[in-house]
Amino acid sequence: MSGFPESFPDMPGRIAECRNPKPVLYIDFMAKRPRSKLKRVKSGKRSPSKARLISSRTVYRGPVFWVTTDDVQEPGGVRASRDVIHHTGSVVVLAVDESGSTPRVLLERQYRHAANGYLWELPAGRIDPGEKALHAAKRELLEETGYTAAKWRRILNFYASPGFVAETMSVYLATGLMAGRAQPEADEVIHKRLVPLSTALRMVLNGTIRDAKTISSVLWLDHQVREK
């Protein structure tokens, strides 16, 4: 008895072949990879960092801003027509009272027609043509709130809405506050309040404060306090 079932009569021979295998030559034909259809960027050449302005025309000019329609070729090579709102720039004042055990932030509440309602904000305003940003910040704080400050430091600089607005905003931290008489413009009805930083942060997180410049400034201050 070979020990294998009758259905496998050639099994002993197959085992012998496995013990003494015959050499076999394998030829592997590798498929040639197709060439990529994407155009390679030549080394040493980079896309320009700025758009090329082909033409520009002013379509609106008002007392605060002006609008242009620009024909541009952007850095990626795309040619497009862009409407841009131009502005001389704005300043924002993060006025902080440090006289107590916890810092307090000076907030304003005023009606904003574009938002169709009242907003909580930091004191802010436009930089007049030829005016320095720091001078504008001191002027706006005094006019809107009556406060002056002993120490000033620029902490943030950003674009308000870079998709179509060229306005930049500079945020100044003002400390060493001294109260005085406000000098608002005729169309400014402003209610001011010093609130603890924790309250201002809660107003940001629960959506009571919806103004972007105020949100970013309050979050910056909270981060600085936590880092100490």
- In the residue annotation, 98 being an active-site residue is answered as no
Q: Where are the alpha helices (DSSP H) in the chain?
A: 11-19, 133-145, 197-205, 212-227
Q: How many CB atoms lie within 10 A of CB 86?
A: 13
Q: Which residues fall within 8 angstroms of residue 134, CB to CB, at 6 or more apart?
A: 91, 152, 154, 172
DSSP symbols for 71-95: EEE-TTS-EEEEEEEEE--EEEEEE
| Catalytic choice (74, 131, 143, 188) | 188
Q: 118 in helix, strand or coil?
A: strand
- Rounded Cα distance, 225 and 10, in Å: 86
User: Could you give the dihedral angle defined by the CA atoms of residues 144, 148, 154 and 157, in that order, rounded to the nearest 10 degrees?
Assistant: 0
DSSP symbols for 164-198: TB--EEEEEEEEEEE-------TT---EEEEEEHH
Largest CA distance in the chain: 118
Which residue numbers are catalytic? 188
